[in-house]
Amino acid sequence: MLVLQKYGGSSVADLDRIRACADRCVATAEAGNDLVVVVSAMKGETNRLIGMANALVEHAPADADRGPYVTAAKRSVDHDRELDQLVATGEKVSAALLAMAIGDRGGRAVSLAGHQLGMTTDRTFTRAKITDISEQRIRSELEEGRVVVCAGFQGTDARGDITTLGRGGSDTSAVALAAALGADVCEILTDVDGVYTTDPRIVPRARKVLAMSYDEMLELASLGAKVLQIRSVAFAKKYGVRVHVRSSLHEGPGTMIVPADEVARLRGQNGKQPMEAIEVSGVALQRDEAKVTLVDVPDVPGVIAEVFGALGSAGVSVDMILQNASRNDRTDITFTVAEADLESATTVLTGLRPGGEELTLATDRAIAKISVVGLGLRSHAEVAAKAFGVLAADNVNVQMVSNSELKMSVVVHERYGELALRSLHTAFGLDAPSR
Ligand code: ASP
Ligand code: MG
């Protein structure tokens, strides 16, 4: 088999952890596999490097007349280019150290960074997109019997400048290399056991999901599940890469992220987890959104276009949108934005006069959004009914609802967010069996 293993920052956090990774690499290779490894920077290292750059530039004291120094620095130096030069070093360090540790264990290994990897990207520093992977170097190292340890998170552009793939980008390096090499599996080795039905810190009875489809994982990642960079999941889906999220600390199985038809098969195989009548894979809670209501606006063509056009131009992304039935050609429009964007949204909206009138705004930060995600939502209308029933039994008022093929979200008062999350987790059969 050709195996790709990605070790995250906590798995290479110190020399002991690196030795443990090396043991696992050697065991995998000795079992007869070809092994390509992708590593993140040692835990905290990327933040440390960015912190130094910020201390030098971003956080330089602002000068009332000339503005923050960052403006001047940016004019004469391509700051983002230097940032990539800087942060890419973190992954080079862990790659070289892991290769040495494998050698110390009697294995054969070589580390590759930046251009040596053959990963070409565009020139969008700090969030570059992969354009091409030429895998000759990796293949010839494999043929010579070496474990190839690749520095994650980085590539080079057409000019040979180092670029990085955005925070969490080593996941995308791993999946992209797995796709290019046709690896049999892409193992994401991390400090959690797999993907959970929800955040175990809020719901102690959350359990590990054995198998999850690409689309479900994309939804959960966009709702804040941090196990994988979203881009890596999109990449895996596009190229059909089988991703196995599992612990770097033990050999137990984690979560397989695979095409939907395989999910059913994998779930059915495990006696302990029978296929559920309604297939919900996870629930998620978000507290960082705010609700905006435009009260009593003229219900004529063009108003809603002007409002959301202006928000879009200001870079404010809108999540749920709800327009009430109109009375006497007037209506209310309610939507949610990230709490961090609420101020700019308000500023933009107070400057508008859609239909010739000023807008009356009501804003509310005290909301929580709970989402239910699963392939089963495609065909089961009863998911919504069941969720409303559960919330009603808890006396939780539903303020907004949105529905799609894979996800249903409700907005409730912030105070009831955790309660609603726990109740829905139980109602959809996600609780771990009690011990
Ligand atoms: N070290 C980089 C980061 O922290 C990339 C990664 O770990 O995936 O974002
Ligand atoms: Mg990560």
List the CATH number of the domain containing 20: 3.40.1160.10
How many angstroms separate the CA atoms of 146 and 26, rounded? 10
Q: Give the residue-averaged pLDDT of 276-287.
A: 83
Per-residue pLDDT reduced to its tens digit, 393-433 = 999 999 999 988 899 999 999 999 999 999 999 999 999 98
| Domain stop point among 364, 394, 419 | 364
Asked whether 168 lines ligand 1 (CB < 6 A), one says yes
Q: Give the residue-averaged pLDDT of 216-239.
A: 93
Residue 224 domain-assigned (yes or no):
no
Give 351: exposed, middle or buried? Use CB within 10 Å, 0-12, 13-18, 19+: exposed
18's tokens: 């690196």
What's the confidence (pLDDT) of residue 62?
A: 44
Is pLDDT above 60 for 241? Answer: yes
Q: Report the atom number in ligand 1 closest to the C-alpha of 91.
A: 1
Q: How far is the CA of 122 from the centre of ligand 2 (A)?
A: 22
Q: Give the residue-averaged pLDDT of 328-354.
A: 95
Residue 173 domain-assigned (yes or no):
yes
Residue 149 domain-assigned (yes or no):
yes
Residue 230 domain-assigned (yes or no):
no
Confidence of residue 379 (pLDDT cuts 50, 70, 90): confident
Is there a single domain that holds both residue 301 and residue 408?
no
Instruction: Show the domain range for 391.
Output: 279-286+367-427
Is pLDDT above 50 for 27? Answer: yes
How many angstroms separate the CA atoms of 431 and 422, rounded? 9
Which residues have a Cβ under 8 Å from the Cβ of 423 and sit 6 or more positions away?
390, 391, 393, 394
Is there a single domain that holds both residue 144 and residue 6?
yes
Q: What is the DSSP code (8-state) at residue 58?
A: I
Is pLDDT above 70 for 270? Answer: no
Is there a single domain that holds both residue 308 and residue 166?
no
Count of domains forming the chain: 3
Looking at 278-282, 335-339, 367-371, 415-419, which range is the least confident one? 278-282
What's the confidence (pLDDT) of residue 355?
A: 86
Is there a single domain that holds both residue 141 and residue 64?
yes
Is there a single domain that holds both residue 410 and residue 350?
no
Is there a single domain that holds both residue 79 and residue 183?
yes
Q: How far is the CA of 98 from the centre of ligand 1 (A)?
A: 16
Q: Give me the sheet containing 407-413, strands edge to edge.
A: 282-286, 367-373, 407-413, 400-403
Per-residue pLDDT reduced to its tens digit, 32-54 = 999 999 999 999 999 999 999 98
Is there a single domain that holds both residue 303 and residue 383?
no
| Domain stop point among 164, 191, 218 | 191
Would you give the distance in Å from CA 230 to the centre of its chain? 4
User: How high is the mean pLDDT of the chain?
Assistant: 91
Residue 270 domain-assigned (yes or no):
no
Is there a single domain that holds both residue 421 and residue 304?
no
β-strands 367-373, 407-413 pairing: antiparallel
Is there a single domain that holds both residue 360 and residue 371?
no
Per-residue pLDDT reduced to its tens digit, 93-124 = 999 999 999 999 999 999 999 889 999 999 99
The closest residue, in CA terms, to atom 5 on ligand 1 is 168
What's the confidence (pLDDT) of residue 376?
A: 83
Q: How far is the CA of 7 from the centre of ligand 2 (A)?
A: 9
Is pLDDT above 80 for 61? Answer: no
Looking at 21-25, 240-244, 259-263, 284-288, which range is the least confident one? 259-263
Q: How far is the CA of 90 from the centre of ligand 1 (A)?
A: 9
Specify which residues 83 forms β-bridges with: none
What CATH number did the domain enclosing 410 receive?
3.30.70.260
Is there a single domain that holds both residue 6 and residue 105?
yes
Q: What percent of the chain stands above pLDDT 90? A: 82
Specify which residues 1 forms β-bridges with: none
Is pLDDT above 90 for 159? Answer: yes
| Domain stop point among 191, 213, 229 | 191
Q: Give the Å distances, CA to CA, from 64 to 67, 68, 69.
A: 6, 8, 11
Is there a single domain that holds both residue 32 and residue 145?
yes
Is there a single domain that holds both residue 389 and residue 328?
no
What's the confidence (pLDDT) of residue 58?
A: 54
Is pLDDT above 80 for 313? Answer: yes
- Best residue among 6, 11, 37, 40 to mutate for probing ligand 1, ranked by most atoms within 8 Å of CB: 40
β-strands 162-164, 154-156 pairing: antiparallel
Asked whether 169 lines ligand 1 (CB < 6 A), one says yes
